Structure formats: structure tokens, C-alpha cells
Structure 1
């Protein structure tokens, strides 16, 4: 097969999105078999849930890398470049590696249907992790769990973060049904860490763990955290009691995410002598997760957060009300058409004085006029600027140094905003 340029590879992969979302394991299993089953060459940590998957995954990858392991990290979506989805030891793979893994997967695909974008990228990730001989791969599910393309790994540990109503067309329209799909990652005898709070969700996970004879560790029952400051906490764990812990990620919910991270580390420590409390403490502080309550300027204060579902929007709204009280806040927002946009807008706009509606380039983005109609009863100062970069530039240019700008509603909006910032070389803030 002739060599494929990086842009041609991506064009080919993005064209797969026309097949939409197809849940099932037969196609990914066939592809991986053709590649020699690369997913069997590393220890996996498999993470499902509604929110917090990426924050926990990146924290665990950082901690394990500090402990001296070679670590792969597979997450989605990317913010600016596809390469971000597949990283090894904290670095996204190179363009050349993208091409090589694409060609490897393309050469072995045999099946009744074309793979979806997510199936193809998952196979690329596992191929690359095997080629790079990672010790651990921290793998985030795309949607659900039971029939998610990532659910072909034999994990050392499973994590289910939390559950809220999402992707109801594919996962079910109740908390219990959605939890059942997420709990599909639970494997026989493999420990499970979870932070679910609803009674129905707990019941489903307990039954799934019991059926698989999988040790289950639940936040609030087997481990817990006690906040001692804005980002500091004590951890009362399964085997340990650690004080003076700190997370670098903003938002009170990140302490809850850190609790799951620490519980996972405790379980890993039982079989990994190289992993210590010092590695864990350093990893939490050094961890970075772009596009989630990410502050990119202090004057004016500019913060980016995908807030791409209702739970995330509520958390962002609370953060803005608490942390930015007294500031004039401008919200720059675009939302995709499969989201409960009216409810999301209510939470995002509650602490804001101005809204700039924008539209990311993805074809699933809502028309600005739809968002404007929903926002009119909530806020009076509304403007539409279709291009995300232009919207961000205008928001910053028309804000005072003491004001705040929040970019939210979709990770695609955040990605385009970050790209505009990178292209400007920081000049967006020289107003």
C-alpha cells in the first residue's frame, strides 16, 4: 500500500463518521485479530461513566508515568488535533505514527461493514500501544461500555465514575438502564471502583460485580474524601489514610474524581511495588486536563470548559457563581444537537450578563437561532458570531481587565477556541 499523507489519513477517517454510531464488538474484534490482538500486550485500566472519565484517566496516566511505567492513554474527543486521543508517556503520538497505525489497521480490515470512526481509532490506539510496548494503557470508553469498541480489553482494573441520563437513544432512558450498559465493562474477578450515587445505579453495579465475582469498592462506603481547602483534601481509603492531598484541577467535583483516582491507585499498589504515595501525590499535582475548567488568561479572566452535558453544565454554573462572584461574565457558547440545550443554557447563563452564541464546524452543532430562542427568556444581552475564533476574539476585546469570559457548551467549541488562541500566539489577550 502506498504511503498515506497525514491529512489524507484523517480525511479518510473523518469520512467514516457518515456511518454514525454503531455499537457492537464484532468489527473491532475482527480488526484486532488481524493485528495480532495488540490489546493483549498491556495491562489496561478501563474507565466508563458520564463525567470525569478523562480527568481520572489523565491523572492515573500521570501517576503511573511518574512511578516509572511506560503508559498509554486513550481518550476522546480531541480538542485540536486527532493525535491527542492517543498518547504515550504524556505525549500525543506523532503524525508519522498516526499514518503508520492507520495503514496497519487499514491493511487488515476484513468484515461485513466499514468500521466507524471510533472503532478505527480504537484499533489504531491499541496497535500503537503494543508497538510502543506500554506497561499500562488507561482507556476511556466512548459511549456506554458493554458494546463500546474499547470493551475488548482484559483490564487489571475497572472504574465507573458516575451516571446521569445521556445518549438515551443508545443506552436507555433510565439511570438503571444506562448503568447496566456502563457496568458492561465489569469482568470476572477484576476489581471495580465506582463513584455512582443513585440507589438504582448502585444496585445495578452491585449485581453486576456479584455476578462476575468482581471485588467492588464504592465511594462513600469503602473510601471517602474530606475537603480541607479549595483544592486540598484528606483521603480515607481502602488500605490507607492520606492527608495533605491536592489536585491541580479546578472545581469541587475534581476532589471527587481524585478520590476515585486514589482508590484505583490503592488497588494497583497491591500488585505494583513501584507505585508509592509520593508518586500519587506528585501525579495529582502535575496532572493537566485541557479544556476542563482551564484558565488561559487572568486579565480578563478567560476560562474554557466543554460542559458538554447537563451535569457538567451544572458544575460549571456553580463554579462561575462561586469563584467569579462580582465579575461581569460573558459566556461564549455553542451546543450540539443531541444535547438538552435548553436546560444546559439555564445553568450556564445563570451567573452571566452577556451571551455570544457561536457554532463549531462539526455538522451536529445547533443553529444559533435555535440557541437564541432558548436563551432570550434567560438573558437580554445576546449576540451571534458564527466563527468560534471570531466570537472569542470579540468577547475578549469587549471585556474589561476585571471581567471574565467563559467558553463552553461543547468540547468542539473549546477546541476551536484553543486553536484560535494558539494561532494568535497569545495576542488575543493584548487588548
Structure 2
């Protein structure tokens, strides 16, 4: 039955979360069969990795949009609204389209084999991009790669941003095991690019790429880059570009930009009309909310969705690089299933004062639990029961020259966006 409203449609879709996380491709495949397999014959870029998937995707999408292409982008999770997950040239799916497509998707479910929430949403994305006639769609892997719902596509090119320990209950306890799952997106004969650096991880990628006859290119070897005071210098397989300006802040974005440029080069070699000017303009115009996202200047207030130890270390380095010597007030909310001590250890050393809080989400850790996990050597701090309360408290403590950093989870950042710009960031109805 077709949902009567956007709110009812979302409620029906979210009820699929009761089926949890299940790895496998059959449920998504059956859903797509009901729609006539819309993914077959379409053109995709597939991006896996622990951190940076969204940034690489946004850089590449902006480059291709500058070249005049109609570019789909599927990402997860969303920050504020469900429809953010589906974008075409930066514009998200309308609520009306979501209601219609959710109704069709729910109607196609076989009761004996119910999909998870992510499987249903991935099928929606593939149907949506087919119907809206995108020239190419960029798909972010949800978790892992080998058995992720997105892995039914055959892309023109694949990328694996990096690997660190994450989702170990599902992906494996070691870097090699996680790398093997991520490398499951490598397809026979399809070029794959990676920004991973660990020898153990690269050996896994090299072995699987060799087995599948897939050319493998590495950032730092076949493709290089260097950050200078004038911008980013890129040394690709086919060209060198100097003094590139990036629309996304943070020193770690240079590596993500280099990976996006390498993908753009590969597409150009395959016949896509992408010029140096398109690359320059795309990199500079790229925007991705909640990633080193400055929403205020006096004091500087930064939102960042970093939620694992590796991402938090990169974030700490970026903040210190861009705002050296400034007093930092940290507002942090983390999901209870994350490596809380590891996440905290990445950011507490640069913090002067900490406000532990939580977003309105079932998996969010209690602020007192976070404060306890920080240990006796942590900076002074306090707890706040909600994101708005924590932000108000941080502002009351901050001077004009201070920095307020809000991070720990994309859910934390999503709620903060609503506080700072409620007109632009109107959340879905409860």
C-alpha cells in the first residue's frame, strides 16, 4: 500500500532496521529484479574505505559536474534528512519522490526474505538514478565491501580510500581481514585506486587485484601529491597539476583530492570529457557538510563527523595546523558501539576543556560514560544532556579567539547543524 505521507513512508522504511545488519547480496538482488534490474548497463564509480569516502566522492562529483555531466551520488548515513542520501548534481531527492519510491520498494519486498534498511535504501538509489537518467553515479559502500548491498554494480572504476580497524564484529579483527572485505569491491578487469599505505593492507589488495586482472594504482607510488603554501600539487599517471585549491578544509583532504583526481584521470582516459579546468574548478567548489565544516568565525566553531580513532587523529592534526596555539573547547558525542577510548585519545590531548554530550539516538553513549572513559588525565570538563545544551555551554565559555570543535559522530554533527542553521537544515518529522 502506498504511504499517505512522507512521515508514514519513513516510518515504514525505518521499521526494516529491526532486521539489523545482515551481509549478503540476495535480498538486494531480489528487490532489483522486481524493478527490472535497473543497475545493469549503468555507469558507476564504487568507493570503499574506512574514512574519506564521502570527501573523495564529493571531489569527484564536483569535477564531473563541472564537465557538464549529470552525476548521481549515494551516501550514508545522512546528517539531517533521509533524502540527503540521494543526490543528483548536488540536489537531494524530493520528499515526494521519496514517498513514491519507498512505497514501490516496500511493495516489492518478499516477506520470506525481508531486506535490511540499508539493502532497501540501496535498491532505491539504483532505481532512482536509472529513472533520473544520470550519466554516472558514485556509490559509497555502507560497510565493508564484499557483501555490502552496493556490490551488485559493475563500476567503470573503483577506489578504496584507506583501512583502519572498524566494525570488527562484522569485518574481522585484523587489518588484513578488514582489507580483504573491502577489497571485495574489486571487479575483474576494473581499475582500482587506493590511498591505503600499510604494507599488510596493500599486499591483500595486490593479491586480489592480480587474481581478478584488475589494474591497481596507489596514491604515493603511481600517483603522488604534495601540499605547498600555494596549494596542492598533483602528479598523476597522465598529467601534473600545480597550485590546486580545495573547497574542503583539513590537511588530510589533500590525499582525498589526489585520489579523486586519479579517478577523474582514469575516466578521461576511458573517453569522458574532463579537462584540467574542470578538475581545478571542481576541487575548489566541492562542499561536504560536517567535515571540518566551519560554521562560525568568532569564536571559530568547527563541525566534523570523525567517529573512529584514525579519523580523530587526522582531525586533531588538521585543527592544530589551521588554528595553532588556540584554546580548544571540545563538544563530543559518540556512539556506544564505537572504540570510545580510542576516539577520545585522538582528540583530548589538544583540548583545553571538554563537554561530553549525546545526540538523540538510541546507540548514543551516555555523557557520563564518555567522561569516565576519558580517565583521570583528561582535560577538565563536564556533561550536557543534549547537543543544544552542550553548544550553548561551549559558547558561554569561549572567547573570540577560541575554537569550539563539535565531533564524535555524524549524528552529533547532524543535530548541531540544525542548531546553527535551522532553516537550511530542517530535520525529518519525528
TM-score (norm 1): 0.96
Cα-to-partner distance string for 1:57-82 (whole Å, 9 max, x where unaligned): 11111111111111110001111001
What is the aligned residue count? 425
- The residue correspondences of 1:6-405 to structure 2 (distance < 5 A) are 6-110=6-110, 112-229=112-229, 232-405=231-404
Shift of 1:393: 2.0
SS at match of 1:46: strand
- Counterparts of 2:348 and 2:294 in 1: how far apart (Å)? 19
Of 101-110 and 134-143, deviating more is 101-110
Contact between 1:42 and 1:133, CA under 8 Å: does it hold in 2? no
- Counterparts of 2:108 and 2:159 in 1: how far apart (Å)? 31
Contact between 1:77 and 1:85, CA under 8 Å: does it hold in 2? yes
- Counterparts of 2:238 and 2:162 in 1: how far apart (Å)? 23
- Counterparts of 2:295 and 2:41 in 1: how far apart (Å)? 38
- Counterparts of 1:233 and 1:327 in 2: how far apart (Å)? 25
SS at match of 1:39: coil
SS at match of 1:54: helix
TM-score (norm 2): 0.96
Contact between 2:348 and 2:379, CA under 8 Å: does it hold in 1? no
Shift of 1:383: 1.5
- Counterparts of 1:60 and 1:400 in 2: how far apart (Å)? 38
Contact between 2:2 and 2:104, CA under 8 Å: does it hold in 1? no
- Counterparts of 1:325 and 1:347 in 2: how far apart (Å)? 17
Shift of 1:111: 5.3
Cα-to-partner distance string for 1:73-124 (whole Å, 9 max, x where unaligned): 0001111001111111111110011111111211212253321111111111
Shift of 1:320: 2.4
- Counterparts of 1:286 and 1:380 in 2: how far apart (Å)? 37
SS at match of 1:29: helix
Match of 2:428 in 1: none
Q: 1:30 to 1:425 in 2, by over 3 A?
A: closer
- Counterparts of 1:307 and 1:407 in 2: how far apart (Å)? 10
- Counterparts of 1:200 and 1:346 in 2: how far apart (Å)? 25
Cα-to-partner distance string for 1:388-422 (whole Å, 9 max, x where unaligned): 12211221133111111100000100000101222
Contact between 1:27 and 1:111, CA under 8 Å: does it hold in 2? no
Cα-to-partner distance string for 1:4-32 (whole Å, 9 max, x where unaligned): 31111111222222221111101000000
Q: 1:12 to 1:278 in 2, by over 3 A?
A: same
SS at match of 2:73: strand
Match of 1:421 in 2: 420
Shift of 1:371: 0.6
Task: Return 5+ residue gaps in structure 2 as ranges.
Answer: 426-430
- Counterparts of 1:257 and 1:150 in 2: how far apart (Å)? 21
Contact between 2:48 and 2:144, CA under 8 Å: does it hold in 1? yes
Contact between 1:248 and 1:285, CA under 8 Å: does it hold in 2? yes
Q: 1:425 to 1:169 in 2, by over 3 A?
A: closer
Shift of 1:41: 4.8
Of 85-94 and 340-349, deviating more is 340-349
Match of 1:429 in 2: none
Shift of 1:424: 7.7
- Counterparts of 1:77 and 1:238 in 2: how far apart (Å)? 33
Task: Return 5+ residue gaps in structure 1 as ranges.
Answer: 427-431
